[in-house]
Structure 1
Amino acid sequence: MPSNVTKKQRSIDWMFSCNNPTPIEFFRFIQPTRKARAIENYGKFLEQAIGLCEDPSKVSKLENVKKTSNCDSDWNIWLIEKRATSVVSKKARKRQLKKQEDDDEYDEDIERAVSSNESSPYSTSYVSSSESSNESYSDSSFLLRLLKKYCEKESTSLYDPAHSFIIDLSPSSKIKGQFNNGQWTELVKRRPGVVKNTYHYEIEPLVAHLFSQDMDLSQAREKWHELRNVAAPTYNDGFSYAKNDWDKIKRWVERVTGQFLDAFESPRNPLRNDCHEREWTGDYIIPLIQGALKLDGKFRVPWGEVSVLATLRRRNNDKDILAEQVERGHQVDILCNYEQYEIACALVCGGPYSYDLTKLASDEFNLPRIMKDMLDDLEMKFLYSGKNGMQLYIVGIQAYMTEVRIYLIEKREIYFFHHLKTFNLPLTYSTYKSLKCALRVAWNIRGLLNSLVQELNTVNAGDDGGFETPPTTPSVNKKTMQTPSKQPKRKRRIN
């Protein structure tokens, strides 16, 4: 009994002294092993602390914490955090796992921490908690274990990219809840250094000429007519384009902006009426993306229904193609090729007014997998050439209505799917200035792919190392999942 009183008083005192008495801080303080009891104690001690507190400001703070707390979410974060920082002997872990399998009463708490003899990241015996956490986090096996457990959960969708060893770092990621805030922030920041480079300053004289001031439609058209008179900036060798390509750049900007100005000036603006996917893609998205990439003739950028050879190879890799039916590859709306390498792709979902959520979900599922197939294909080509392919990446573009999202996938411990940028295209002259961002992003994509080309060119550079067998691809155990079979949709009966 005295120990219970002491525990109660200690918890209430903690509520008073803690600067932010949230559920996760409470779990860190008491080191619980049972979810239901921990949440019950948190609510009970918080209520008692509010009743005993005589400081109005402290009472207000505790009541605000009570209103905003999310015990279930904080418990999940606590489990991940404890699992990442705990040091447990193999025997203790086996005993606890067996106990969890036999204990149906606490099925909801199947992921709870092991017994109290574990090291606590917040106890006095714990040394350098942040360093230990970073070591566990940076360990490739930690991310692999986390992905495996996440994929085994019944609540995880069969269409989650985690099944293909891809960790989605986009704002809409479903796996985000498996990490604490510090881990997730660090993951998002782990972008390749090449994305920190920007190139849009090279076309800034043209952008400033077109969008530097407020003007009506007729004035915008006058600026457009004067575009070819804009002088080239002082050239230096650090530019991503050749010295004699300035006129080509002006014609690209002229075409992109001219298409939209033509629509805005039309008595029947095609962007305000029945603009379907083919027209939207061909007249407005292709000039922007393809125009920037094809400017110096370095890239081939076919568009339409283009098959991705990388996915074709992956789908048929395990088949006896002399005896089995060959499957076709995924198709994309835009594919960027450099020599024999597929390095960027785009999926377009309908026109600017299409609300096809099923097609959007399909594109969101397929795009990371297609990009992974392309990256695996690049890596294989590098391995056959005896080169290290760990600095490679693939750029992906997804267009839905007026929104265009830019992604990048790279491979480290696993595959990291980064969201780089989102911009919108205009439908009326009132949003004409949004083209400023679109032009800059398209030019930055071109610079990003040019940086990749420099890496690809190392395959044919250097001395011949003689004849040797290429090493086994490290991607062999991180295969892209097959598309799950779809269940027929049930028709709803209308009474």
Structure 2
Amino acid sequence: MPITNSPTSKMLTASFAKIRHHNGVILPDSPSPSSNPTVHQHQKPYTTAIRAGKVKEYEPLASELKSHVGNIIKCLASTPRLDIIEAVIKSKVTLDLKLENTYLTERVKLKAKNNSREYEYDALEENVRGSNGNLTRGKDEVSDDESNTREDDEWDEEVDEEWNRNDDKSVVGDEETRDSRNKTPPNNLGDKDIFKAAAESLASSDEVKYFQGFIPLFEQYKEQQKRNVYSCTNDDVMDIRGDSGFVKSLTVAQYRKLLSMRPKRHAVVPECWRRVVETYFTESVIKGEPKRTIADWVRATEALNVVEDEDAEEVTRLKKYLHRVMSPLIESYLKPIPDISAPDCSEHHYWSEFAHRFFSKALQDFIGLDWRAMEVPVSASKYRKNYGLDHITQTVVEGKSSDLLARSWETGEEIFIGEQAGPPTKPDLTKFAIDSFKLYRELRDCLNVRMLRAMEVGDTNYSNRAVFGVFGYLFEIKMLIMWRDGVYVYEEFGSLTIASHWSKIHTMKAGILKLLEFIMVVRVEVERVVEVEDDTDKIQILKRRFADITQTSPSPSRIAKVKKGDHQV
């Protein structure tokens, strides 16, 4: 069916004719390559009337035009016919319907530019905002009233320049416009733009679900810490761990209320797992006879390799896991000076031989995540833009490698990050502060990548993402979670303390059970199916927001090195 004979085209033609009649803009009835319309005057009677205070005279006209604008919204939003939309672009229709919201609540802005095609449906965008909160653009987000005023002013200037510049051009068949339409920016998952955008903050106070009453308190604390370059508040991270500075600024009653408002993470350890752990870590092999020697622990560890007939598959898997992580510890305790607690034990030896195994083996055996250990590059932090700080802080910010990294096989997303701050027998508060600063920045970068990828595929629940990490200092390893509730929320799930001597092995039971519960939480997050809405309009708006965020400016190029002999005297 030709474009001019389709029902949608007839509705558009009728609506455009009505708007042309009232708006005073002369346009051709049917665009064709041979037509060369001349715009005599770009009149804006409604804007002029509003500024002059003559709004009441246009009340009947506003209600009449509202129905025509609604027809255009339905046509452009419902039809998949791109040829109809291109016909609208070629005719360079300019709708100057800028009445106050009380008279005209639905507006359509058809922007026909030489370098892009962009449609903005305020009514459709309000539907998305109402269902999922305001969509964020980053730190530079302004209020709706300010953004609408700024866009209206820019739109007036662009329209005036566009009409004056194209006064002598043919509207249809312009080679420059036709070529520019084919140059759409790519939004591929493999592009570096998504990693460059991940370094920016995606925090937005308009998307708060749980901590609505605590965001003003966080903003006050952030203002107090603006001169502290090591404060996580500079990156919009709200640390709700018990020993954080923000928590110390709250009263006990406020902190209890904050903890009670957290989302409930339902992760139940199977009862068969609990029985296996309690049986292994009990203080006696035979009832009434406590374990007095390391030999008793050796026999108990070797018994984990014995598979009984009544053992289920999950029980067998857990026994193999415990044997793999406890055997290096037991072998270390057999030496006169255990490696794990030796004065010359290095960070690399402790982490690679003992500590990381508890988490990397669990991620591999129970979730099936791909993991790497010891100075693994973090892709989400690779393109992080650094601060202009001194050389000490600059070294911290440039650190973009972790001691443990796990990613999903299906999506390639980096979900789990681990850091160890120094050897277990040498306390180093400087190393502790540096690695703690480095870990939360890596977690924030990984969380941004997860949200951007969910936004690109049209998942309206893109903000319901989380990343996980572990932070080791001395013999304790803390389990951490970062998620977003307007700001980035940084919380501690639990901790595991590795025994420094064989006589303390039984104290690891509570930590191992907490670790298994933590792994269950990670598995729920990994197995979560991407929820894509059926509403095509919402998906397209999410893709547009994704494109706006990922189009970041490139990092400044480095200064070229001066070769030998090129120095000027």
* TM-score, scaled to structure 2: 0.51
Q: Which residue in the other structure is 1:406 paired with?
A: 479
Separation (CA, whole Å) in 2 of partners of 1:256 and 1:305? 21
- Residues 438-477 of structure 1: pairs in structure 2 closer than 5 A: 438-455=511-528, 457-458=529-530, 468-469=540-541, 470-472=543-545
Corresponding position: 1:256 with 2:333: no
Q: Is the 8 A contact 1:333 1:347 kept in 2?
A: yes
- What is the CA-CA distance between 1:451 and the residue it aligns to? 0.3
Per the alignment, do residues 343 and 230 of structure 1 end up closer, same or farther by CA in structure 2, a change over 3 Å counting? Answer: same
- What is the CA-CA distance between 1:180 and the residue it aligns to? 3.4
Separation (CA, whole Å) in 1 of partners of 2:448 and 2:426? 33
2:369 to 287, 290, 299: 299
Cα RMSD for the two superposed structures: 3.3
Corresponding position: 1:187 with 2:264: no
Separation (CA, whole Å) in 2 of partners of 1:190 and 1:233? 42
- What is the CA-CA distance between 1:152 and the residue it aligns to? 2.5
Matched position secondary structure for 1:386 = coil
- What is the CA-CA distance between 1:346 and the residue it aligns to? 0.6
Matched position secondary structure for 2:514 = helix
1:431 to 500, 504, 513: 504
Corresponding position: 1:151 with 2:222: yes
Q: Which residue in the other structure is 1:171 paired with?
A: 242
Corresponding position: 1:385 with 2:457: yes
Matched position secondary structure for 1:254 = helix
1:223 to 275, 295, 300: 300
Identity in percent:
18
2:347 to 265, 271, 277: 277
Separation (CA, whole Å) in 1 of partners of 2:427 and 2:442? 23
Q: Is the 8 A contact 2:305 2:319 kept in 1?
A: yes
Matched position secondary structure for 2:545 = coil
Q: For 1:115-136, what per-residue CA distance to the aligned partner results, in whole angstroms no more than 9, with x for missing partners?
A: xxxxxxxxxxxxxxxxxxxxxx
- What is the CA-CA distance between 1:268 and the residue it aligns to? 3.1
* TM-score, scaled to structure 1: 0.59
Q: Is the 8 A contact 2:498 2:508 kept in 1?
A: yes
- What is the CA-CA distance between 1:229 and the residue it aligns to? 3.0
Gap runs ≥5 in structure 1: 1-136, 236-242, 317-326, 480-495
Q: Which residue in the other structure is 2:187 paired with?
A: none
Per the alignment, do residues 138 and 293 of structure 1 end up closer, same or farther by CA in structure 2, a change over 3 Å counting? Answer: closer
Q: Is the 8 A contact 2:367 2:523 kept in 1?
A: no
Q: Is the 8 A contact 2:333 2:501 kept in 1?
A: yes
Q: Is the 8 A contact 2:226 2:234 kept in 1?
A: no
AA in 2 matched with 1:308: V
Question: Greater helix share, 1 or 2?
Answer: 1
Separation (CA, whole Å) in 2 of partners of 1:368 and 1:201? 34
- Residues 21-420 of structure 1: pairs in structure 2 closer than 5 A: 143-153=214-224, 157-194=228-265, 196-199=266-269, 201-212=271-282, 213=284, 214-216=290-292, 217-229=294-306, 231=308, 243=313, 246-273=315-342, 274-295=344-365, 298-315=368-385, 330-339=400-409, 340-387=412-459, 388-420=461-493
The structure with more radius of gyration: 2
- What is the CA-CA distance between 1:226 and the residue it aligns to? 1.7
- What is the CA-CA distance between 1:150 and the residue it aligns to? 2.2
AA in 2 matched with 1:149: Q
Per the alignment, do residues 208 and 141 of structure 1 end up closer, same or farther by CA in structure 2, a change over 3 Å counting? Answer: closer
AA in 1 matched with 2:375: E
- What is the CA-CA distance between 1:420 and the residue it aligns to? 1.2
Separation (CA, whole Å) in 2 of partners of 1:247 and 1:346? 27
AA in 1 matched with 2:305: R
Per the alignment, do residues 288 and 139 of structure 1 end up closer, same or farther by CA in structure 2, a change over 3 Å counting? Answer: closer
Q: For 1:68-99, what per-residue CA distance to the aligned partner results, in whole angstroms no more than 9, with x for missing partners?
A: xxxxxxxxxxxxxxxxxxxxxxxxxxxxxxxx
Q: Is the 8 A contact 1:253 1:439 kept in 2?
A: no
Separation (CA, whole Å) in 2 of partners of 1:218 and 1:234? 25
Per the alignment, do residues 210 and 427 of structure 1 end up closer, same or farther by CA in structure 2, a change over 3 Å counting? Answer: same
User: What is the aligned residue count?
Assistant: 322
Q: For 1:253-300, what per-residue CA distance to the aligned partner results, in whole angstroms no more than 9, with x for missing partners?
A: 112111111111123321232221111111111221111111157201
Separation (CA, whole Å) in 2 of partners of 1:475 and 1:418? 30
Separation (CA, whole Å) in 2 of partners of 1:189 and 1:167? 16
Q: Is the 8 A contact 2:222 2:234 kept in 1?
A: yes
Per the alignment, do residues 445 and 231 of structure 1 end up closer, same or farther by CA in structure 2, a change over 3 Å counting? Answer: farther
Matched position secondary structure for 1:468 = helix
Q: Is the 8 A contact 2:210 2:261 kept in 1?
A: no
- What is the CA-CA distance between 1:465 and the residue it aligns to? 5.1
AA in 1 matched with 2:291: M
Matched position secondary structure for 1:157 = coil
